[in-house]
Amino acid sequence: MPAVAIPLSSAGHELDTSSAAFGFIRSSADCAGDFAELNRRLADDGYLYIPGFFDPALILAGRKSITDRLAAEGSLDPAYPSIEAVENPGRKFSFRGDLARNNAAIHRVVYGPELLGFYAKLFGEDVRHFDYTWFRAVSRGMGTTPHCDLVYMGRGTHQLLTCWIPYGDIPLEMGGVMLLEDSHQKSDRLKNYLEVDVDAYCENRPKEVEKVVNQLGWSHPGHLSKNPATLRAKLGGRWLTCPDYKAGDFVTFGMTIVHGGLDNQTDRFRFSSDTRYQRASQPVDERWVGENPPANTRAGKRGRVC
């Protein structure tokens, strides 16, 4: 593995980038059409990294749709071409789901025939996707804390895959998704965490009702840890990322692998979507489907007596 020339951090914590603690994700470009092998790798590694999957023109059209919106709202530095996505200092974002709403160029990428065809072959049957589209415009800093997706979307099948797609080239100093090696094989150790449903609450605890139902908060913060460095030391494995994500790449992974985002060390926004795919025959988490998915609104909250 090439040495990492710059310090890297996530959620504000510097990572140990020695070869024992950090590495790069395995490319499956060599077997992108061999779905038996892809399924083996998905089971073994917990993820698939497919570089060069999309026509970059599709991805860049998606990027332009985003930078046009950010420019219109004044979030970009007007001294630079908007496609470069240089931040207007003072505009700090991380999650911007609104940027993907009513956005045909993004929907063309995430729900287009290329990706749905890929998942149909991977699952070996008809697939459906969640209708909610997660989108991130990540400012300097602002890396996502380590978590498993299951705690946010575990009410349907757990055989659900996330697809993370970068909209533009992402050098290491800009960050991107990182996965904790072999953490998908440690579900026994993470059992208590993996049973969390952030939208569930205890009906008999007035404080929880107030927070979750009335203020539309979560009963659990969602993350597994605020500190990716100490979490890795505790759970083992290496933090894995890509030294140079390109427009056209994607990474897909399951519900129980621990992942997060590296901090962005540049003044340009880092754009990515994360969307979900499953077998059409299996139950779906109703929070994330329909023309106007309930998401984390009151309709998505679920009470129980604790």
| Site residues, Fe ion (CB under 5 A) | 149
Ranked by CB distance to Fe ion, the top (closest) residue is 149
* Minimum separation from the CB atom of position 140 to Fe ion (A): 21
**Contact residues for 229 (Cβ-Cβ < 8 A; gap 6+):** 10, 13, 14, 15, 16
CA distances from 54 to 61, 110, 118, 219, 292 (A): 12, 10, 11, 38, 28
Q: How buried is 109 (Cβ within 10 angstroms: 0-12 exposed, 13-18 middle, 19+ buried)? A: buried
In terms of CB distance, is 200 or 224 closer to Fe ion? 224
* Minimum separation from the CB atom of position 137 to Fe ion (A): 16
* Minimum separation from the CB atom of position 147 to Fe ion (A): 6
β-pairing, 160-166 with 176-180? unpaired
The tokens describing 17, both together, are 């980038």
In terms of CB distance, is 65 or 144 closer to Fe ion? 144
In terms of CB distance, is 238 or 259 closer to Fe ion? 259
* Minimum separation from the CB atom of position 84 to Fe ion (A): 27
* Minimum separation from the CB atom of position 110 to Fe ion (A): 15
In terms of CB distance, is 149 or 263 closer to Fe ion? 149
CA distances from 290 to 97, 129, 188, 285 (A): 16, 11, 33, 11
In terms of CB distance, is 45 or 149 closer to Fe ion? 149
**Contact residues for 72 (Cβ-Cβ < 8 A; gap 6+):** none
* Minimum separation from the CB atom of position 153 to Fe ion (A): 9
* Minimum separation from the CB atom of position 48 to Fe ion (A): 16
In terms of CB distance, is 82 or 145 closer to Fe ion? 145
In terms of CB distance, is 66 or 224 closer to Fe ion? 224
Task: Tell me the DSSP string of 13-75.
Answer: EE---STTTEEEPPB-GGGTT-HHHHHHHHHHHSEEEETT-S-HHHHHHHHHHHHHHHHHTT-
Q: Would you tell me how many other CB atoms lie within 10 Å of the CB of residue 158?
A: 16
CB 60 within 8 A of CB 255: no
Calculated CA dihedral for residues 138, 143, 145, 149, nearest 10 degrees: 40
| Residue 185 β-bridge partners | none
